[in-house]
Structure 1
Amino acid sequence: MRLLHRAAGLGLAALIAGALPASAQQKVLRIAMTAADVPTTTGAPNNGFEGVRFLGYPAFEGLVLWDLSRADRPATLRAGLAESWAQDPADPKTWIFKLRPGVKFHDGADFNADAVIWNLDRYWKNDSPQFEPAGSGIARARTPIMAGYKKLDDMTVAVSTTRVASYFPYMAVYILMTSPQSFEAAGRDWSRAAALPPAGTGPFRLSKFTPRVSAELSRNEGYWDKARIPKLDRVLLLPMPEANTRLAALRSGQVDWIEVPPPDAIPSLKQAGFNVVTNSYPHVWPWFYQMGGTATPFKDVRVRQGLNYCVDRAGLVGLLNDTAEPSVGWLKPSDPNFGKPENHYGFDPGRGKALLAAAGFTPQKPLTFKVMISASGSGQMLPLPMNEYMQQNLKEACGVEVSFEVTEWNTLLTAIRQSPDAPILNGSTSVNPSSPSSDPAVAARYFLQAFVPPNGFNWGQWNDPAFEEAFAALEVAKDEAAFNAAYAKAHERLVDNPPWLYIVHDLNPRAMSRRVKSFVSAQSWFQDLVTVDLQ
């Protein structure tokens, strides 16, 4: 099957030319994103984790940050706006954060405990003047165990959770801080604050924003970590959801960096001297099964397992020119916490058809369902040709009839926070959003029964008592051995009682001009722009 392409937009050159800064002396990195629009710019970016990657962490920071400095291991955590954090010995549901002194927001305001409480009220206090419904929805979905918070002194805050959670710092990375002063300067109007520009504490500051066209980041010379002052003067972010448009922009020199190049163009890009960067990282591209709806076929575990045996993952990897690797679980088989599940998924149509037949689906009564997919988006790789491949593969291998509800990325993200039969799904009983698989905090949001929408991302309403028991042991684990043993047991249930159809793990491909230097391809969905330079 050939990858599907469309002609590049004719107005691209004019778009970039109009967005470029006048000075040719400065180092300006131009990045083509897969997003269809510029992510929101107020410190609570939409457009999934691509929004966080480009209009989150570069300009806005949390109490805890990702360590993106290495390419040879999965990213870990490091101190951010909090110098340290720990569970309260008297109450393990409470975390104490000691804040970093001397930090200022881009607008000159001081970062302190009052600013932290103000930001938490923005997300969790519905009647606060700064409450922002859109940002609140994102924050609450990513941190669904927030119970309360309070200021202990000017540089210390306490955050309480609804359950003991050893992984809470992995949720804290997504609570980004914005200057309260910038909100006041905008007349307490978030839409105006988006263009002031808004003020975070990050190594870059937002210097220009044109809706649906571009956003520009500029180096923050006053950044609190003097060892991490960016080498670039500016970064220009351009939404380009169509892969061929991004490819044409790179080849013509209109941009320096593109996310997700078309796989069939990679050999010619390398031959032309472009740098194509990939790396293994914790990210999975699946179909979610809906188990709670009234008309879903996925209540039967044999259907969910059977489909996992029907997928020719190696064929899809070949289609993607080896920019992905087969997925047979939420974690990769090489992960020490993969466990020892009973099922070892591979391309076995005979076993897949037998399981489907046992569940009542035969050539005379084929399994039929609809999947909601996006045309592009954060982490979605190349969803249209990939899903067309899946449609043909499942039909030819196991007689399964799949149709698609094609929508925009943010609509898909909205849909997976809805009830099983919500009108927005239009009859879809499966959805195709990609997901990081970086840590148990993500697993909690997707798989614990407590986090069915609107409390989290367990859209399928999956409920496995053995998983719940193992995860409870993980949450209260006091040492690494106990933590890992519980995590492996939990993951075994994700394989043997699959809530998802596991398809591939992304290898995070991006293509760059030879001018781009010193980029470290972290094993993370997020990347560090501070080290990047232009020759």
Structure 2
Amino acid sequence: MSARRLTTLFAGALATALFAAPALAQGTLRVAMTLADIPLTDGAPDQGTEGVRFSGYTIYDPLVSFDLSSADKAAELRPALATEWKVDDTDKTKWVFKLRQGVKFHDGSDFNADAVIFTLERTFNKQSPTYDASFNRQLQAYLPSLGNWRKIDDYTVELGTKTPDSLFPYQLTRLLVVSPAQYEKLGRNWAAFREKPSGTGPWKMEALVPRQRMELAANKGYWDAARVPKLDSLILLPIPEVSARTAALLSGRADWAESPSPDTVEKLKGGGFVVSGNAIPHMWPYTVSQLPDSPFADIRVRKALNLAVDRDGMVEVLNGLAVPSVGNVTPDSPWFGTPSFKVKYDPDEARRLLKEAGYGPDKPLTVKAAISTAGSGQMYPLLMNEFIQENFRDVGVNLQLEVFEWEALRARRRAGAQGPENKGITMLNNSWNSMDPYAALLRFLGPGEIPPAGTNWGNISDPEIEALVDQVRNEFDAKKQDELLARIHTRHVDQANFIWVVHDVGSRALSPKVKGHVHAKSWFVDFSPIYMQ
């Protein structure tokens, strides 16, 4: 499929620009998000990882965070509300975390061990009066190893894992600590808390209009002096339609547009806008069902469809706003390994494998994929899926698309391929962050990760991989961890467990007034150093 043909899908979309907002103070940044609504503000954001980016890491802090200060190297773990952590020498299921002292919540109360325990109780203890099922639903899949917790003293907590898990600190990047004092002040009502949230983060929520905007004010008393925001305020605008986001930028309604229209890249650059991208750990694949009644239970079909994808053509269509994907991680990752199956574009070999698997003109293969209209990191799902549809048609495969709003697609994801609501659907098009070993690999593999426990949507079961996963969880030497992860990824690619397409570059278009932006090699963004000229 030609780039010219597909990019006409955007033709005329920018003819009617969105209304221009009144001029704002120089210290205000307005961001057009890909989301259809404002993510939940209670410390357990919905809307996927983009929700964490915009209403998670802005208002709240985790115990362990990522260093987002460099555009040249992968974001690494750094201390946040925990200053240090260590696994017990004699019991590898026990981790001790020393907490940062002198930190205040936005409501003025103290951050301490009680706040950490409160946050865990409201999320994972169904017997707690503070428990809310929405917190568990959003976080369970991201902290699967957590088994127990206890306060040692006011600034020390012990967190226990169900079994030894050397990768446990990565999971804690998603645990955002909330204020128990604010919850009490608001009558122990989580709905009221969402209207007046209180975290320790660099931004305080000032106003929220569902589906329209969220206004955040800089927390000038933020505990990390190096990351006190330079801006006065941050305004988040949910604009899920790609052309509308770009129009908002061009009209002056927004200063920053996530995932701008690919066909407007040259126009934006010519107008002085900055189109920023970096190869971030974020993949756009199809997860496929390997249940017995799925055609993807046959590895020949999985390999064939991988060979049917013209990844370079896709990147051309996206005007360079992606890079081809040949696995869950990029080849320069220490976890990539040495797969013998080469993910490439080879339609002739794809047809041969399909014929060998019993498909052809007399028995065409029809598969159905669940996709979204937009959403957290979904890039340009309608455009991209239509491109894949034609790629598959070229090798005799009929790809049917069932389109969902992003949160509805996530509900289908949480049900797993085995869920009755997913009957007839054998592919899930969901973008995934791959910032750490668990997110990149382990959460997709093995029976313990099958929904609702995890995100092994396709019910992948491979004893060889499962044995390696057990080894890496019990290995606390970083170099040996990398070696084991490389073996897991090698096997994963050789089994063609996914249909890989591209890696995201986290594309965003910025007004020339936006300064100080660092495009980290991460799905997350640090808004603290940004200012408006």
Give the TM-score normalised by the residue count of structure 2: 0.96
The 1:352/1:121 distance shift into structure 2, 3 A limit, reads: same
Q: Distance in 2 between matches of 1:481 and 1:107?
A: 43
Counterpart-to-counterpart distance in 1, 2:313 and 2:17 = 36
Instruction: Please say if 1:406 is aligned against 2:412.
Output: no
The offset of 1:423, in angstroms, is 4.0
Aligned to 1:428: 425
The answer as to whether partners of 2:280 and 2:504 remain within 8 angstroms in 1 is yes
Partners of 2:15 and 2:167 in 1: how far apart?
44
Matched to 1:220, the amino acid is N
Q: Secondary structure at the match of 1:222?
A: coil
> How many matched pairs?
526
The 2-side partners of 1:210 and 1:183 are apart by: 21
* Partner-residue secondary structure (3-state), 1:54: helix
**Structure 1 contact 421–427 (Cα < 8 Å) conserved:** no
1:11 positional shift: 9.7
Match of 2:78 in 1: 78
1:191 aligns with 191
1:13 aligns to what SS in structure 2?
Answer: coil
Q: Secondary structure at the match of 1:531?
A: coil
Report what 2:121 is aligned to.
Answer: 121
Residue in structure 2 matched with residue 241 of structure 1 by the alignment: 240
State how 1:55-70 maps to structure 2 within 5 Å.
55-70=55-70
Structure 1 counterpart of 2:408, one-letter code: T
- Are the aligned partners of 1:30 and 1:235 in contact in 2 as well (CA < 8 Å)? yes
In 1: Cα distance, 2:81 partner to 2:476 partner: 26
The separation in 2 between residues aligned to 1:381 and 1:185, in whole angstroms, is 40
Aligned counterpart for 2:490 among listed residues 471, 476, 492: 492
Structure 2: 5+ residue stretches without partners: none
CA–CA distance in structure 2, aligned partners of residues 159 and 8 of structure 1: 51
C-alpha distance in structure 1 between counterparts of 2:15 and 2:244, whole Å:
6
Q: Could you tell me which of 446, 459, 462 is aligned with 2:460?
A: 462
CA contact (8 A) 2:258 2:507 kept: yes
Q: Does 1:302 pair with 2:306?
A: no
Structure 1 residue 218 corresponds to structure 2 residue 217: yes
Does 2:227 correspond to 1:228?
Answer: yes
Q: Is the partner of 2:301 in helix, strand or coil? A: helix
Name the CA distance, whole Å, in 2 between partners of 1:388 and 1:33: 23
Q: Calculate the aligned-residue CA RMSD, in Å.
A: 1.6
From the superposition, tell whether residues 430 and 531 of structure 1 become closer, same or farther in structure 2 (CA, over 3 Å). Answer: same
Q: 1:25 to 1:400 in 2, by over 3 A?
A: closer
In 2: Cα distance, 1:284 partner to 1:359 partner: 28
Structure 2 Cα separation of the partners of residues 534 and 254 of structure 1: 15
Indicate yes or no: 2:518 matched with 1:524: no
Offset of residue 508 of structure 1: 1.0
Unaligned stretches of 5+ residues in structure 1? none
Further displaced range: 344-353 or 473-482: 473-482
Paired residues of 1:35 and 1:241 also in contact (CA < 8 A): yes
Q: Which residue matches 2:328?
A: 330
CA offsets, 1:412-457, max 9 Å, x none?
1111111424343352111111001121121222223211011110
1:498 offset after TM fit, Å? 2.1
Tell me which of 386, 391, 394 is aligned to 2:392: 394
Deviations 1:445-489 (A, max 9, x none): 222321101111011110111111222222222323311211110
Contact 1:144–1:445 (Cα < 8 Å) also in 2: no
What SS does the corresponding residue of 1:208 show, helix, strand or coil? strand
Query: 4+ runs of 1 displaced by more than 4 Å?
Result: 6-12
- The 3 A distance-change label for structure 1 pair 44 and 298 is same
1:176-229: CA deviation from partner (whole Å, max 9, x where unpaired):
01111222222222122111x210001111111111111111111111112221
Q: Once the two structures are superposed, what CA deviation does each residue of 1:80-101 show, in whole Å capped at 9, x if it has no partner?
A: 0000011111211111110001
1:182 equivalenced with 2:179 (yes/no): no
Aligned with 1:320 (options 318, 321, 326): 318
Q: Would you say the 8 A contact 2:17–2:251 is kept in 1?
A: no
* Distance across 2 between alignment mates of 1:500 and 1:388: 18
Report the identity percentage. Answer: 43
- Asked if 2 retains the 8 angstrom alpha-carbon contact of 1:278 and 1:509, the reply is yes
Alpha-carbon separation, structure 1, partners of 2:493 and 2:486:
11
CA distance in 2, matches of 1:421, 1:92: 34
Give SS of 1:420's match. Answer: coil
TM-score normalised to the size of structure 1? Answer: 0.96
* Alignment partners' CA distance in 2, 1:264 and 1:169: 41
Give the conservation status (yes or no) of the 8 Å contact 1:34–1:240.
yes
